Structure 1
């Protein structure tokens, strides 16, 4: 029988998922000789020698028994010269990088590990850091690649005899060569301390923390990617106190439930929602709130949904299991606008006055990773924030990049990216870079990914948003000045649409139609865009339709107090004096700090043309939210529009209210007039809210259908932007498109909002340079 030698080079998620141990077992079962080792680009190299029958058996078992978290992106098999290798070994990792591979994300605790934690007869009983080859932290504790224990925060915890024995046992599938394993004897430990650092003497710190929370205390909990703030979600006084301390008047708090059964007491779960909650990614999922949910109304004021996740680490599970409710507020441990704390020093400095105690542990959080947030829009799962569980897995393009790229993303909800070959690696969610500390976080993680993927910045292309005052753009300009790298600026809404096209692995050079709807983006004409229909071949775009630009009296103040926008539109309809009278009659003046006098100032600014104009979907939704009395103040990004969606969800579509189209523009002034007249006639406000959102989506879809005549892809319309997750708008767009046999394409792998901008920036810049 003939014999042969093969070398396999494999990239994908193949480090940190029990891949080398799996290969070792398959090699023993098939009888081949050789070795397996990690390489420095996060890839794996395998060398196997044996008879052709043994090699075929190896390849068959390799395909059949792949570890659940592993993902193979590329597999290259090379026939090598026979060397007569004896036995099969796992070799030490090499710093050599032959091809780049994915850095593994953090995985939620698996059922087997959780069963051990809950088994009184297991040596890991009640151990809060239990993990195995298939679950637990990865990216959050990595200093560098390759994923070996000495390159992670677990290097501080040498294996005890028992763990060493499991680590060396090839038939211990979950722990053989699993880099992150530990036990109570050798692993991290947890303790409880006051905010001032005084250790609380107790036999069970987790149980004591749960008792404090049940009595109304507020506790910082050190998790996997950062600190959470934990508190009762069922007690109005506790929730209001947390809001007061955190200076967070209305933004909803995330909840963590013990498991999906506990979550089902709070929200309505179908099979798909349960699957997402229990997945290895375990995001926060926005779901319809049960009418009888035992949750304070102050957790998510004005909303009909709750953001719920389930305990994704043994520590969180043990804490929740000891609480009376089996669910808690579990919100990010940060000061408003600042990055989430990852160190006890940050907690003591930033969270003093917010939390009473700290449930701490001694494993270093190397990389900050916020919880991911997702929701269902038009029946599809869409990401709002891409963090733990998803980042930093890469996204494959449908073309190869001519040069490596570093993308700096947008300003709000930022994520940056590095890109090479046909791959884009987005950073985890960074935050709003109008804050200096957050901007420095963006630079820190861009530098980290540049180093891990060996990108020469001086030879790369840098990409940033077109907006001249974005801090993310200024950072890109500083990098370009320092390194001599080329800098390309990409228009915001072009990047939004390009992100959806790119994630579907579409090639450039084909004209496609997109809809971009959000709060703000710098237009090519210097005005504020945000309700756009464009045709793009990725390298360039043409604006072919948009919402009517409306005045924003006072600029940023109008975004904070949307009654100013409503008054500006009233002024267009009836003049200054009547607009102010109507604002008083409708109660709009209640939404302004200076009442009627501020209303008059806003009206005069609008009448004189002394106000910036915006075609933004977000701003017109804000205006309707104020007109209908739903929301008068934006306490967090998108609040009026988000509350309008919740308010109108149970409304009905009204035939007599529609959004006219004039040329290539949706006439939002006439729509506003129709809603105003219906409101004065006593028409149901919820139905008016629903109808406004539906008609705006329907009108944009109509403009998109017209634009398909000038596009080469006539089967799809690609939609993104922060407002693209609005379920009513998305369903309206889809309904109108489907009448003509056209599909609506929404983002799946990146956020529809600004967290997906960096992907679009990469695709546009690469297309401008020429791709292969």
Structure 2
């Protein structure tokens, strides 16, 4: 006979808002155990006693709830206490909060079936959810994760919902956002554009009808507002571009099904798994020829596609006149679903703000009365050639899931950069990244940043003793860190932070070769860095090489006008013959002699043309030389459209030179590019040769540094490595040479990830001091 005993289990990790307590309750009752389970500010506490207490512990740790993540479990076997039954206890509120909160999760299959079932009491209810799905992070005000601490506190449960909430056999047992049309949030319409009419009593049918007519609709979702239109209606897409003042930057799309996605894009098994995962990010997929207007995604070669992730999304695709069409025949193959904000602004979460700011963009607003406390934009992910996902933007569906890092220490707040901003807070060995904020030069973004930092600090009990920020003295985040109240901030060089974002993810602490390629970062010598080869660890770095300095004609304007960089690179490569070369490649005809003369005059003047080693500007220059993009209408456009035309079968490359000190000179490659353009060689061939040249140079210098320093670990980071061709081929060839290659996998390689690197560095540097 088994020994009857009591087990006390303290579980930490992502264990609240994921159905953990109901799961434990059902398991304990099924094992004939008595005791209790309770949320606490630090995790979940469980006590069970009975014959199979040990087996219960084993089963829980081996098979926890699907959406949970157990990071730590403390187990004690103690004398019996004499519990009479098993209960879910009321959560205490007297401990310092430190637990993780689950991200917002897509509607589950069970709820979707009920949503579309005319016999279910939640039929067509746009806020259906259960223990396994629905809003989490976006509705929370405080921990523990109980209804009173969420945006649902103002919606008292009706008798039916109370019954389900209290029933251990029900899927909604202790589901905090539980609701129905009797007691929960409701939809409403706002119609600022009187060109259209709607039936207020039937908001979804009205919106579907307006979308079919070409209207632009503002829709309140889980993490914020979207602007939506029919992706197959070219006129509607063009109208949205004009109203939003978004000339060419690709729009994200939402397709009804995976099969609908396949009509527009090629999808691998790994990409399909991401599309259909409960996190439902936007997945960047290689384009197919289709009926889609070129206005949707432009010339970048991929579509950003996602599947519906809220009940409301599904109703927009399938709901019609009080009945549901089958899943095989949705109303729309695809909808444009883009963030409902102006360029540079953060995501909008408030009804009044949306109507006020976007009434000139949207024809109608589909609103609801459930507050969004923690706003978050859609996450964007790309799958590498080896099947590894890489983030372009980490936000909804992933925030605020913590990352485990090496070591422990005082709480840290890292303020990130001014572009693609996120902040990171460290508590213990957990790193919590904020959602994507946007560009900090916008006052609305600063307000959004401060609100999120305040909320996350309160929810997770963060009391920063250390602040970290970019070393650039002109950054807004630099000034914010100084004023943030955590003492004098630790300044982290931009590219060192990029490298350390990878080291933090992979819990690396020893020296590694770091190749960091981006457009702009404040350099330790006062110049602008961006094509960097470092020997880095969490305490510091040594610059071991870089792309040769080039002037940026007009400073920041050079990043917005690739044509300026093209003139600078041609002038560098051809000297006095530059004018003749520029005329031969059609530059004079495209831009005029006065423009070229003006650029050539300011190139030698450092006040107007600061020096930069930025890799991004090299890609810009080649894109403009090939007459692909002369003026960026959004960040990275020239490089993205250059990558899109690569002929992947081409293995040829151009010359380059690495001089003493690890200085990489691409003037030979520029000469070859110009020669091929003059000879009429296809742009796909030239683009491939250029990319192969950059890859060759990276491999060459990285191996030289590796051999010289005796290091086998190589880190790749920086926004230029969002280029899939560049990244995939660099990884493949470095690994073939026997090196250990580490990249960003849990945070973006662009500036959206540098706050993690800053925080990691600050923790180690503070210890050293």
1:182 corresponds in structure 2 to 179
Instruction: Tell me: CA distance 1:591–1:383, structure 2 relative to 1, closer, same or farther (3 Å).
Output: farther
1:313 corresponds in structure 2 to 310
Instruction: Tell me: CA distance 1:137–1:711, structure 2 relative to 1, closer, same or farther (3 Å).
Output: farther
Q: Which runs of 5+ in 1 are unaligned?
A: none
Q: Secondary structure at the match of 2:211?
A: helix
**C-alpha separation in 2, matches of 1:521 and 1:374:** 24
1:226 corresponds in structure 2 to 224
Q: Secondary structure at the match of 1:485?
A: coil
1:476 corresponds in structure 2 to 481
The structural deviation recorded for 1:377 is: 3.0
The structural deviation recorded for 1:434 is: 1.7
Aligned length: 754
- Deviation string 1:537-572 (CA, Å, 9 cap, x unpaired) is 221101111111111100111111111111112222
**C-alpha separation in 2, matches of 1:140 and 1:203:** 28
Q: Secondary structure at the match of 2:603?
A: helix
Instruction: Tell me: CA distance 1:727–1:381, structure 2 relative to 1, closer, same or farther (3 Å).
Output: same
**C-alpha separation in 1, matches of 2:732 and 2:18:** 42
**C-alpha separation in 1, matches of 2:36 and 2:709:** 52
The structural deviation recorded for 1:744 is: 2.6
**C-alpha separation in 2, matches of 1:517 and 1:65:** 42
The structural deviation recorded for 1:324 is: 3.8
The structural deviation recorded for 1:601 is: 0.9
- Deviation string 1:695-745 (CA, Å, 9 cap, x unpaired) is 11221122111111354641x311111111211211332243134212332
**C-alpha separation in 2, matches of 1:218 and 1:444:** 29
The structural deviation recorded for 1:662 is: 2.0
1:39 corresponds in structure 2 to 40
Q: Which runs of 5+ in 2 are unaligned?
A: 320-329
**C-alpha separation in 1, matches of 2:346 and 2:285:** 26
TM, length-normalised to structure 1: 0.94
1:669 corresponds in structure 2 to 667
1:277-316 correspondence to structure 2 within 5 Å: 277-291=275-289, 293-316=290-313
Q: Secondary structure at the match of 1:338?
A: coil
**C-alpha separation in 2, matches of 1:350 and 1:141:** 23
Instruction: Tell me: CA distance 1:62–1:326, structure 2 relative to 1, closer, same or farther (3 Å).
Output: same
The structural deviation recorded for 1:681 is: 2.0
2:451 corresponds in structure 1 to 444
1:665-744 correspondence to structure 2 within 5 Å: 665-711=663-709, 713-714=711-712, 716-744=713-741
1:122 aligns with 2:120: yes
**C-alpha separation in 2, matches of 1:681 and 1:607:** 30
The structural deviation recorded for 1:381 is: 1.3
Contact 1:500 1:745 in 2 (8 A): yes
1:377-396 correspondence to structure 2 within 5 Å: 377-379=384-386, 380-396=388-404
2:519 corresponds in structure 1 to 519
Q: Secondary structure at the match of 1:544?
A: strand
Q: Secondary structure at the match of 1:265?
A: helix
1:337 aligns with 2:344: yes
1:398 corresponds in structure 2 to 406
Q: Secondary structure at the match of 2:697?
A: helix
Instruction: Tell me: CA distance 1:590–1:85, structure 2 relative to 1, closer, same or farther (3 Å).
Output: farther
2:584 corresponds in structure 1 to 585
**RMSD value, Cα:** 2.0
Instruction: Tell me: CA distance 1:196–1:769, structure 2 relative to 1, closer, same or farther (3 Å).
Output: same
The structural deviation recorded for 1:376 is: 2.1
Which residue of 87, 91, 94 maps to 1:89?
87
2:274 corresponds in structure 1 to 276
Contact 1:191 1:199 in 2 (8 A): no
**C-alpha separation in 1, matches of 2:590 and 2:412:** 45
Q: Secondary structure at the match of 1:89?
A: strand
1:755 aligns with 2:755: no
**C-alpha separation in 1, matches of 2:395 and 2:349:** 15
- Deviation string 1:54-97 (CA, Å, 9 cap, x unpaired) is 21232234235521101101101134454322212111111233
The structural deviation recorded for 1:650 is: 4.5
The structural deviation recorded for 1:580 is: 3.3
Instruction: Tell me: CA distance 1:585–1:383, structure 2 relative to 1, closer, same or farther (3 Å).
Output: same
Q: Secondary structure at the match of 2:162?
A: helix
Q: Secondary structure at the match of 1:298?
A: helix
1:404-415 correspondence to structure 2 within 5 Å: 404-415=411-422
**C-alpha separation in 2, matches of 1:358 and 1:589:** 48
- Deviation string 1:618-661 (CA, Å, 9 cap, x unpaired) is 11100010011111111111111111111225562324x23322
The structural deviation recorded for 1:4 is: 3.1
The structural deviation recorded for 1:462 is: 0.1
Instruction: Tell me: CA distance 1:365–1:722, structure 2 relative to 1, closer, same or farther (3 Å).
Output: same
**C-alpha separation in 2, matches of 1:687 and 1:757:** 34
Q: Secondary structure at the match of 2:407?
A: coil
Instruction: Tell me: CA distance 1:249–1:651, structure 2 relative to 1, closer, same or farther (3 Å).
Output: farther
1:364 aligns with 2:364: no
1:539 corresponds in structure 2 to 539
**C-alpha separation in 1, matches of 2:454 and 2:710:** 39
